[in-house]
Amino acid sequence: MAMLEIKKFNEPVLRKKCKEVRKIDKKIKKLVVDMAQTMEKKIGIGLAAPQVGVLKRIIVVRTYLENRLILGLINPKILKKSPELEVDEEGCLSFPDIFLKIKRAKEVEVEGLDIDGKKIRLKTKGLVARVLQHEIDHLDGILFTKRLSFFQKLKFKLKHPSTKL
């Protein structure tokens, strides 16, 4: 098992936009597997490639908490978001021990490729929809702290002054 280093909140790689994967080769497949194993070891439910220092459009997400099924998605994109929003608590492996109330779409439809290059399209809601939105944000250099309201940002900055928003 290859344990990857998770980049922390102030590292510039987390704020950069990722490039699409053009070819799914052995290196990409290994990265997906290593990301899934790292996420499991760190007891996470989602991980994006920039969080391990790789600027590629790749995420891994635990889709079912009970049976621990992990989905690896290459070049994922959100096709539709429900107009209904909900606020819930989110954490991030790049922000250890920090949990924030974030507003997100209640349901999303996402499309991407699996490690064999097959197109996957899923419509989901609840926690999995939230995790997909969070991880796809990472691919665009958007951290969950950017989703805070003005007053939430002030409160966060007072509590964590060394953290770059």
Residue matched to tokens 């096709």: 79
Q: Does residue 135 have an active-site annotation?
A: yes
d(CA 18, CA 63): 23
Please say whether the beta carbons of 134 and 99 come within 8 A: no
Structure tokens at 102: 């974030």
Which residue of the set 66, 89, 107, 135 is catalytic? 135
Q: What does the CA dihedral 20, 95, 106, 62 come to, rounded to 10 degrees?
A: 70
d(CA 88, CA 77): 22
Sign of CA dihedral 120, 121, 127, 130: positive
Kindly list the catalytic residues: 135
